[in-house]
Amino acid sequence: MSSFLVDIAIWILLFGAFVFGVLGFFGLLIFPDIRSRMFTALRASLIAAGLVIASVFIYGINVYGETGEGIYFTLLAHMALLAIVLCAGTVVVTRILKRRIVETIPPLEA
């Protein structure tokens, strides 16, 4: 059985993921141009996915610490791999967005 504090931490992370998912959805509806929609939805979705990964990671650590079963260790390894891929995707998409924003801004004329 998991402890009360671990359960509260997991539920807080999952609630935060839900909130960021809803913010990303409303960002798609509210913003006028495609670039701001994409930026808002991407950031909110990545934060939500990161919070879900963190909650699963906390759950896996807690259960592995209590039971010592190997299946939870594989869960932790997969969540770590997913977190690495998520971080790499964030860096790549951020660089692409920055490059496209800089290319579209006209230079200042003196």
CA distances from 107 to 2, 26, 104 (A): 58, 33, 9
Q: What pLDDT, on a 0 to 100 scale, did the predictor assign at position 50?
A: 84
Rounded mean pLDDT of 4-30? 92
Rounded mean pLDDT of 9-15? 95
Owner of token pair 């759950």: 59
Q: Domain 4-104, what architecture?
A: Orthogonal Bundle (1.10)
pTM: 0.71
Q: What pLDDT, on a 0 to 100 scale, did the predictor assign at position 41?
A: 82
| 8 A C-beta contact, residue 56 and residue 6 | no
pLDDT band at 85 (very low <50, low <70, confident <90, very high): confident
Q: What pLDDT, on a 0 to 100 scale, did the predictor assign at position 20?
A: 93
Quick: pLDDT tens for 93-110: 777 777 766 666 565 565
Domain boundaries, the chain: 4-104
Dihedral angle sign, alpha carbons of residues 96, 27, 22, 15: positive
Q: Which two tokens stand for residue 5?
A: 């504090």
Rounded mean pLDDT of 54-75? 81
Least confident of 24-28, 45-49, 54-58, 91-95: 91-95
Query: Judging by beta carbons within 10 Å of its beta carbon (0-12, 13-18, 19+), is residue 108 exposed, middle or buried?
Result: exposed
